[in-house]
Amino acid sequence: MDNTKRYARLLERYGNGDLDRRTFLGLLGASGMAAGLVGGPMAGLGRRALAATPDQVRFDGWGGVVSEAFRQHAFNPYTEATGIEVVDGTFGGADEYLARVRSGQEGEFNLAHLSGVFDYDRYHNLGLTTELNEDNIPNLANVIVRLQDVFREITGGTLSAVPYNYGTTSIAYNRKFISDEEVREKGANIMVDPTYEGKIGGWAEWKTRIWYGALQTGQDPNNIQDMEAVWEKIREHRDLALKYWGSGAELMSLLAEEEIYVTEGWSGRIRALQNEGHDIGYYDPPNGLAWQECIFVLRGSPMEACEELLNFMLEPAVAIAVAEGQSYPPALDPTKVDLGEIVPTLPAFDPTGQMSELTFYNAEYWNSNESEWSPMFSRVQRGF
């Protein structure tokens, strides 16, 4: 049987339900190594691995269940197929990671799982972008066009990243103490309700705190008119909160251990808690914060190796497996790709592929205010 037929047979068995996704990916990786597969997600990988390529590429992400999903469903099969090791690091916040990149050497950091258009824009402004050869990433054709276009507008029509997943940062609450009806009635103001003093949490990130301060004062987060009112709400929240959390793992721990009853939270992490049996509710208020994440390729990276990893990660079987593992919908267009049974049940999933019901950061607006708002939040956080 030739290589193309091997891939077709594996794909047919997977589509018929004869193979689970983990087995399918394992066999796919093994076939790619043994036979130099020329079709599907392993296209060209065995051949290119014999050429002059780096021994490894570095990938930095958010840790926890997100990194576990990438490792299991994308990185390990890719390494099996190419011989190129994916070394993954983690970070707790975008500002922390950017500081590492700026203090490091060019080429030290290669790919990063960045949050949204805001980060893409500021990396571009700092001269850290690259230009992807899209011919090496044919699976990009399956990615939601709107998610691509916002990046192309920043980098003159080219891409330095591929959209990969999306989600929301909305209200998570323990149903043992707070009802669905109460959250719907109070919306974002549930997090400044004195009833829950000492049982409230929040992410220690300036953009999120300001976004929710805007919602709590009835303002458009992308067009704030009364900033002092926002700062006052942030202070109210600070004084009522048990603590700010700094990572997805800490968010999950605080809710699971009932140290806090309510916080804003990342949709995928909340689904992970629900899957573990915790009765955690999740509510997207009007103008709740939506975001997309991308896999960004930094200046100085080995481009061909990065591009083939990106293409592999966008292969539907791989992207869906990662999505199910991390509980965030993939950036694949559901009108072009059958996303299976689980993905459509994930929080924030948009079955239309238009993303019209989600509210994202206006990158230009937020970047223009970062120099004032970020240090101001640091002062408020310290009690100012």
Using CA atoms, how far apart are residues 190 and 316, in angstroms rounded to an integer?
39
Residue 1, pLDDT score: 40
Other Cβ atoms less than 10 A from the Cβ of 96: the count is 10
Name the more confident of 26 and 88.
Answer: 88
Tokens of 150: 């916002």
pLDDT at 229 over 60: yes
Cα–Cα distance between 107 and 306 in angstroms, integer? 12
Q: Which domains does the chain have, with CATH numbers?
A: 3-166+291-345 (3.40.190.10), 169-290+362-381 (3.40.190.10)
pLDDT confidence of 94, banded at 50, 70, 90?
A: confident
Per-residue pLDDT tens for 323-340? 998 899 999 999 999 999
List the structure tokens of 268: 């995928």
In 3-state terms, what secondary structure has residue 262?
strand
Mean pLDDT of the residues in the chain: 88
Tell me what the mean pLDDT of segment 34-55 comes to. Answer: 44
Query: Can you give 103-166 as a three-state secondary structure string?
Result: HCCCCCCCEEEEEHHHHHHHHHHCCCCCCCCHHHCHHHHHECHHHHHHHHHHCCCCCCEEEEEE
Per the structure block, which two tokens stand in for 80?
């099996």
pLDDT in tens, 181-207: 999 999 999 999 999 999 999 999 999
Distance CA(127)–CA(124), nearest Å, equals: 5
What would the pLDDT profile of 277-310 be if each residue is shown by its tens digit? 999 999 999 999 999 999 999 999 999 999 999 9
pTM, entire model: 0.79
